[in-house]
């Protein structure tokens, strides 16, 4: 049988020689008279007419000289797909920033020792979409209400533009720094106060802040306040470093008397993500578990009223009973006198 085109693109592999000196499996010589034998149809002309081999030559598989065009096509395909990949990444980042979590940088010492300057925290923005409201003890990020931060100078240049772009997709904190981070102390309906040298009182209950208050600080700092009843839908917030936090205590002259609207809340800070050696969660301190809700808080006036009403009702019932008894006795006495007169 004659040797035709091989299935591979390489040169024909070497055959072991037969004892007679000829390679085993080689085709017999053609007939002397030049006529084609039965086995001559796969002779010397077969490789040139093999479509498989022609296809392999077109693909550059014969000698490797045509491999560059194929590789160039793959690179062009990658560069065409790269803008699509970048676009998908930006869309995902925007969705995550808008609906899931967002990173914020801590620019001050107002939340020490819970948060240090330069920490990066992740803020949960998902649960508010399901109706969750800020609770006492949570660390929240909120937009600047009523100009707490004053006028922030804007930085120009290419660097500011890049930071603004990265901030827009949530990869960097805002260059304007118009967001604040504090701890929620009281919610709508609560009555909160702190007298000089005393503890923070919520609905008449003292709050134990030893687990998060900055060492050496007092609960009021240098700014005692209250009592203040927090309006519904608003929050009273304070920093853990009371001597270095311009929080609700310092803005009582503004609308809301220093409180923050729940609509300005970006979300709850749930974890310290950077630096790695400070990674930790931000749970609600257990001290807030014992704080009564505003609905369950009963002040002295309410206690007096609740006690007086039953007493008044009981006294009035006794008076009515006495009047009814007196009327009955009077009627009975009048009937007896009429009977004696008839007998006389």
Query: Looking at the annotation, which residues are catalytic?
Result: 110, 182
Cβ atoms of 67 and 60 within 8 Å: the answer is: yes
Coil, helix or strand at residue 235: strand
Q: How far apart are CA 106 and CA 82, in angstroms?
A: 34
Residue 300 backbone dihedrals phi, psi, to 5 degrees: -60, -40
- Could you give the count of Cα atoms lying within 13 Å of 68 in the half-sphere of its Cβ? 1
Looking at residue 322, what DSSP letter applies?
A: H
Coil, helix or strand at residue 238: strand
Take residue 103 and report the two structure tokens written for it: 């990173």
Cβ atoms of 264 and 145 within 8 Å: the answer is: yes
Alpha carbon 294 to chain centroid, angstroms: 28
β-strand partners of 193: 201
Take residue 155 and report the two structure tokens written for it: 């930085």
Residue 188 backbone dihedrals phi, psi, to 5 degrees: -55, 130
- 90's enclosing H/E stretch is helix 67-95
Alpha carbon 5 to chain centroid, angstroms: 65
Q: How far apart are CA 119 and CA 116, in angstroms?
A: 6
Q: How does strand 139-143 pair with strand 120-124?
A: unpaired
By CB atoms closer than 10 A (0-12, 13-18, 19+), residue 295 is exposed
Q: SS3 helix, strand, coil % of the chain, rounded to 5?
A: 40, 15, 45
């Amino acid at each position: 049988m004659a040797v035709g085109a091989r299935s591979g693109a390489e040169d024909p592999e070497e055959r072991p020689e037969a004892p007679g000196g000829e390679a085993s499996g080689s085709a017999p010589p053609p007939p002397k008279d030049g006529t084609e034998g039965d086995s001559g149809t796969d002779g010397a002309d077969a490789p040139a007419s093999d479509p498989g081999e022609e296809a392999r030559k077109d693909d550059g598989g014969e000698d490797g000289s045509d491999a560059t065009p194929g590789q160039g096509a793959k690179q062009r395909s990658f560069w065409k797909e790269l803008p699509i990949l970048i676009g998908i990444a930006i869309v995902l980042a925007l969705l995550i920033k808008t609906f899931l979590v967002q990173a914020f940088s801590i620019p001050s010492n107002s939340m020490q020792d819970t948060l240090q300057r330069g920490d990066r925290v992740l803020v949960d923005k998902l649960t508010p979409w399901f109706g969750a409201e800020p609770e006492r003890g949570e660390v929240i990020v909120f937009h600047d209400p009523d100009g707490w931060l004053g006028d922030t100078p804007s930085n120009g240049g290419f660097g500011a533009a890049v930071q603004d772009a990265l901030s827009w997709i949530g990869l960097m904190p805002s260059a304007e720094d118009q967001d604040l981070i504090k701890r929620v102390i009281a919610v709508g309906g609560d009555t909160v106060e702190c007298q000089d040298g005393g503890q923070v009182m919520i609905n008449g209950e003292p709050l134990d802040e030893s687990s998060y208050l900055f060492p050496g600080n007092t609960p009021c700092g240098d700014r005692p306040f209250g009592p203040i009843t927090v309006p519904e839908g608003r929050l009273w917030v304070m920093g853990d470093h009371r001597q270095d936090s311009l929080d609700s205590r310092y803005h009582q002259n503004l609308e809301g008397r220093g409180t923050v609207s729940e609509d300005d809340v970006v979300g709850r800070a749930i974890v310290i993500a950077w630096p790695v050696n400070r990674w930790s969660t931000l749970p609600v301190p257990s001290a807030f578990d014992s704080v009564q809700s505003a609905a369950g808080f009963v002040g002295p006036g309410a206690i007096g009223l609740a006690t007086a009403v039953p007493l008044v009702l009981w006294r009035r019932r006794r008076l009515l009973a006495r009047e009814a008894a007196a009327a009955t006795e009077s009627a009975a006495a009048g009937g007896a006198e009429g009977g004696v007169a008839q007998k006389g």
